Structure 1
Amino acid sequence: MAGIFAGDPTVAAVVFPGAALGILLGTALFFARHHQRYGPMRGWPGQVGLITVLVGVGVAAYAVYPLPRGVDGLCAISGGAAPRFGPLAVLQTAPLAWPSAAHIALAAGVYAAVGLLARYRYRRGAVFAGALGLLLALLIEAVQLTGVLGLYPCAYRVAAVDDVVLGGLGALAGWLVGTAAVRWLPRPWPGAMADMMPPAISRRLLGHGLDLGLWWSGAGTLAALAVAVGAVPRHAGAAAMDIALIALAVLLGLVVPLLRRDRCTPGRASVHLALAALGRPLPAERWRVLLRSALLYTPVTVMFVLDLPWWALAVAALHGLPAMARRDQTGLSDLVAGVRVVTRGAVSGGLPRKLVRYSAPLAQGHDHAPQAVD
């Protein structure tokens, strides 16, 4: 199938960062929705929430990887990987071969995790779990059959009807395991709580990690698209990447925090962090936010542009060492700029949407049930 970049060797440069960008955006949206509805991710329900994210990332990775590095020779021999529409085609080709057994185990295992979470985390029935497994498997096989929706000129992985069947069966098997998990494991559903306490280091690191991933994958996608569509000459691809890194660093690291009430970059905003004024439950002054962003993100951008990304860890270490030593967990850039990292609830006063409050009876004999705060 001819795609929009058919025959262009830059296709791999588009798909690699593009796939990473899509996965990171989905992850950020999940965290944002969770914090908006339930507040901080704590305890066993928080761990189950993180497992849910990992399963989603695993399903997305299973759908597209391993991605070919280029299209040269990909379709030269037989026009790409031929689909297998017949039943039990995988077993008929090599019934006792290790690759076939590994493929079946991987395919069933991916969907089993989906079915387990459907029962244990979301309390869904067997019909829903089986249908979800079939739908996900069908979508994944469509992505493989079309070469990532036409980005590759032909299929690079075998699309098979057997994998769709394995998706449904694997999800049902996972649902049965989830039924046992409901009996033996703690309650996984999060209970909403006010998000006012100082955020943990792990939460702050997660926000920084999302920011770094969105920045790098976004810049790579923009630069590769510019080369692929002819806006930038192919020999200038490295320069286009540098320009995209600088432009997105300014946009995401400087402009976005100045415009947002929580004064945060997109990744840190997805986990509901905020920058507060020193000693006051108010958003930090914009000039302090600008100073902090310049101190923190400028050297990181320079390291990446100079093709020294690992040296950016030195910047992270300089910023994080005071946070590890100080009781208030304040980083070096925060100390210099005079700001503090807090939760969004601490500066906005907002409560999780699923928080339940008790309403006292208005008169004797008239009881009021707990009410959800929306």
Structure 2
Amino acid sequence: MTGQLLPALMAILLGILAGVLLFVPFVAIQYRRQGRLTVTQTVVWAGFLVYGLALWTYTLLPLPVPEEIRCAPKQLRPLQFIDDVLGYPIGSIGEILRNPAIMQVALNVLLFFPLGFFLRFTLRRGVVATTAIGFVISLLIETTQLTGVWGIYPCAYRIFDVDDLLANTAGALLGGLCSLALRPWLARRDATVLPGKPTPITVWRRLLGMLCDAMVVWLTSALAGVISNAWQLYVLAIPATDLNQSVTSAVTVAVPLVLTAALTLATGRSAGDLAVLICWQSRIRPRLLARLLRYLCGVGGWQLLVAFASPLDWVFAAAGIVALLATTDRGGLPGIVARMRPVDSRAPSHDPL
């Protein structure tokens, strides 16, 4: 049971990691392609990501220990599964359902069946494209197995079966055909997509921008810490036990602080604002002062509290959310403190900071 659950757990864990790394670019792309990001879109894309990783983990993992590898044979005869099916009793429905050859084909079909739906939802591909993509992905998986992960192993550690290729492609085809039922819903959805037109600044949009800001700070901090430790280990040749953690801690705080400050002071917008296409209007002059206030009333104020190890960082974050909910124009703390107003950056005249 543990061996069967391991690929699923790995797919979920890797999906979470990949989702965190790709979240901000994903938000930015969706807003530029469709003018918005809904919960449905997020769930579908997250499912697609986990599904894609599950294909990899279930078909290629676990990798064998090189010393224990046993070379697997090849099955190059198309439709060999028919003879395999007939090699077991099929005189009743129960025997058919328990037939291991039928179960093997059915599982291979089901494995690629979701591909049609995901490609239809996310990339808007038709039946022909879905089938072709399913074939290519299946061929890549089978070839990877046949070549021992492209030469890492001396021979194939799993059976290359041409019938698996046929069943996987059939699954993608069936998924694509069933996805045709989604066309009316997709047509209604596409009718509301306005990628080039401004849309209202909602609570969800502002919260999404704030989440993107936090993600950028966290990822930048983590990357800065890794680079700092790597510099000490490989450039300064400091033993791992003697690494200066105070330097690394200072770097993980200073680097994201400087980068986010530079971005906001240069553009008047945080990384989250840029992702969700928000800019700010303000009558405060000089403009640099308005941008500084935007920074201090947003991610910058939170970062400064974190930098000085203040327990008020969580209070500041909570106050930002409460202020966002309390302001009718969704200006939040920048709106209350500096009388700023968020507007869609696609508006024809918005006089940004």
Give the TM bin, normalised by the shorter chain.
0.5 to 0.7
Q: Is the 8 A contact 2:224 2:255 kept in 1?
A: no
Q: Secondary structure at the match of 2:234?
A: coil
Aligned residue identity for 2:302: L
Q: How does 1:158-237 map to 2 (within 5 A)?
A: 168-183=169-184, 187-189=188-190, 190-192=192-194, 195-224=197-226, 226-227=228-229, 230-231=234-235, 233-235=239-241, 236=243
Amino acid of the structure 2 residue aligned with 1:321 = V
Q: 5 Å matches for 1:294-333?
A: 294-300=300-306, 313-333=314-334
| Superposed CA offset, 1:224-278 (max 9, x none) | 3554563475344865663443134224421112222xx2222331111223215
1:226–1:283 distance in 2 versus 1, CA, 3 Å: closer
Equivalent position of 1:247 in the other structure: 254
Determine helix, strand or coil for the equivalent of 2:189: coil
Conserved in 1, the CA contact under 8 Å of 2:253 and 2:307?
yes
For residues 68 and 106 of structure 2, what CA distance do their matches in structure 1 show? Answer: 22
Per the normalisation by structure 1, the TM-score is 0.59
Any idea what SS the aligned residue of 2:329 has? Answer: coil
Contact 1:273–1:341 (8 Å) recurs in 2: yes
Selected match of 1:28 from 8, 24, 30: 24
- Letter of the 1:114 counterpart: F
Aligned partner of 1:39 among 30, 35, 39: 35
Q: Deviations over 1:5-47 (max 9, x none)?
A: xxxxxxxxxxxx9987764564433433343354345xxxx56
Is the 1:249–1:301 contact (alpha carbons within 8 Å) kept by the matching residues of 2?
no
Preserved CA contact (<8 Å) 2:281 2:350: no
Take 1:30 and 1:175, find their aligned partners in 2: how far apart are those partners? 24
Distance 1:84 1:192 in 2: 53
Say which SS state the counterpart of residue 188 (structure 1) adopts.
Answer: helix
Q: Quick one: distance in 2 between partners of 1:240 and 1:139?
A: 45
User: For 1:341, what is the secondary structure of its paired residue?
Assistant: strand
Q: 1:279 to 1:251 in 2, by over 3 A?
A: closer
Deviation string 1:290-339 (CA, Å, 9 cap, x unpaired) is: 43243233234566xx9x9xx85543212111221232333235422443
Q: Map residues 69-84 of structure 1 onto 2, 5 A cutoff.
A: 77-78=65-66
Gaps of 5+ in 1: 1-16, 67-73, 351-374
The 3 A distance-change label for structure 1 pair 241 and 59 is farther
- CA contact under 8 A between 2:265 and 2:295: conserved in structure 1? yes
Distance in 2 (alpha carbons) for counterparts of 1:275 and 1:165: 55
Q: Counterpart of 1:32 in structure 2: which amino acid?
A: A
Q: Identity over aligned residues, as a percent?
A: 21
Change in Cα spacing, 1:314 to 1:58, as seen in structure 2 (3 Å) is: farther
Identify the residue that residue 265 of structure 1 maps to in structure 2: 270
Aligned to 1:291: 296
Higher share in helix:
2
Aligned match of 1:4:
none
How big is the shift at 1:202?
Answer: 1.0
Q: Which amino acid counterpart does residue 211 of structure 1 have in structure 2?
A: D
Measure how far apart 1:128 and its partner are: 0.9
Distance 1:165 1:194, change over 3 A: same
- In structure 2, C-alpha distance between the alignment counterparts of 1:32 and 1:276, rounded to whole Å: 21
Which stretch shifts more, 177-186 or 203-212?
A: 177-186
Amino acid at match of 1:172: L
Q: Secondary structure at the match of 2:346?
A: helix
Confirm or deny that 1:114 pairs with 2:106. Answer: no
Q: Is the 8 A contact 1:39 1:194 kept in 2?
A: yes
Q: Which amino acid aligns with 2:264?
A: P
Q: For residues 245 and 101 of structure 1, what CA distance do their matches in structure 2 show? A: 51
Q: Using the alignment, how far apart are the partners of 2:337 and 2:19 within structure 1?
A: 34
Q: Is the 8 A contact 1:274 1:283 kept in 2?
A: no
2:10 corresponds to: none
User: Which one is further off, 271-280 or 101-110?
Assistant: 101-110
Taking only aligned residues, the RMSD between alpha carbons, in angstroms, comes to: 5.2
Q: Which structure has the larger Rg over C-alpha atoms?
A: 2
Contact kept, 8 Å, 1:31 with 1:270, in 2: the verdict is yes
Q: 1:355 aligns to what? A: none
Residue 25 of structure 2 aligns to which amino acid in structure 1?
Answer: L
Gaps of 5+ in 2: 1-12, 85-98
Supply the AA of the counterpart residue of 1:297.
Q
By relative contact order (CA 8 Å, sep 6+), the higher-ranking structure is 1
- Residue 340 in 1 paired to residue 344 in 2? no
Note closer, same or farther for the CA distance 1:184–1:207 as it changes in structure 2 (3 Å cut).
closer
